[in-house]
Amino acid sequence: MKILITGGAGFVGSHLADKLISQGHEITVIDDLSTGRYSNIAHLEDTERFRLIIDTVLNEKLMEELIRETDHVYHMASAVGVKLIMERPVRTIETIFRGTDVVLGFCSRYRKRVLIPSTSEVYGKGASVPFKEDDDLLTGATDKHRWAYACAKTLDEFLALAHWKETRLPVVVVRLFNTVGPRQTGQYGMVVPRFVHAAIRNEPIQVHGDGTQSRCFGHVHDVVEGLTKLLDSPECFGQVINIGNSEETSIKGLADRAIALTGSTSEIQFIPYEEAYGDGFEDMRRRVPSLEKAKRLIGYQPTRSLDDIINDVANEYRNEVAAAA
């Protein structure tokens, strides 16, 4: 098939491109490289079934052409990272919603199957753990910029499901829970590469808040395996589906494991949220997915542990340091 990946030079998008090419598909990636990196997909440039277009999904004329000629669309383009969200909330909201509106509009016009990634952030301050797809959503006040990303993604979900309701557009919404692994940068606040890289350098690991807040981290290879099955499964159309890993750890526990697995001498420093992100930041205490729906619909079962993730990120970073020496 011919498959379009928006944001395909990004962390998850590039691994998705790798997987789909290995399955024999023709892949077109569109990315403006604002947060994605050419190095993520450089190894694919000589592949006959791969095409890279450096442009924005807001280029409607181009997007119409690309969507019309494709079979499936994975709309991975998005503003990413807590740091970027706090610093540039206008860009966060506009990039997410306007881009999704363009993609869904043309997919609806040409009847293309489309996957819309959402985020565990939409669960907000929800206290019912593990989070299930039909849970009520509880975000904070609109003057807390922390929630701009969650609300923009929630609006994406409403729009996608509205297309399904009105025209039966074959669309799947996927809520991703902290996808991590090789190629992820800590530039925008991503915690795993930030901790692991600091540990390898034996530098202080900065934990925001008191470190008791907990998260679950899914290896990008497990996540991508799930993503590639969703658009081939009509029973997933019009559905919201969690994808991730349910292995829970505190953020301090994550720092401890990064130190232990890398043999580091790093110390842990606790940084108040206000110092890290400025005023208007709120955090959720726990974020654990229910994966029962994904297992039932596509047989999704993550196979890689948090230790696997840390080791893979550490090995990649060591190789990069060695290559640069």
Positions annotated as catalytic residues are: 149
Query: Bridge partners of 118?
Result: 175
- The DSSP symbol for 219 reads E
Residue position matching structure tokens 């996957």: 115
Residue position matching structure tokens 């277009």: 53
C-alpha span between 69 and 58 (Å, rounded): 18
| Helix (H) or strand (E) run with residue 313 in it | helix 306-324
Closest CA to 174 of 209, 225, 213: 225
C-alpha span between 322 and 316 (Å, rounded): 10
**What six digits make up the tokens of 135?**
């849970």
Compute CA distances 109 → 101, 163, 170, 197, whole Å. 12, 11, 12, 45
**What six digits make up the tokens of 187?**
């530039």
Instruction: Report whether 159 contacts 194 (CB < 8 A).
Output: no
Residue position matching structure tokens 């970073």: 317
Environment class of residue 114 by beta-carbon count within 10 Å: exposed (0-12), middle (13-18) or buried (19+)? buried
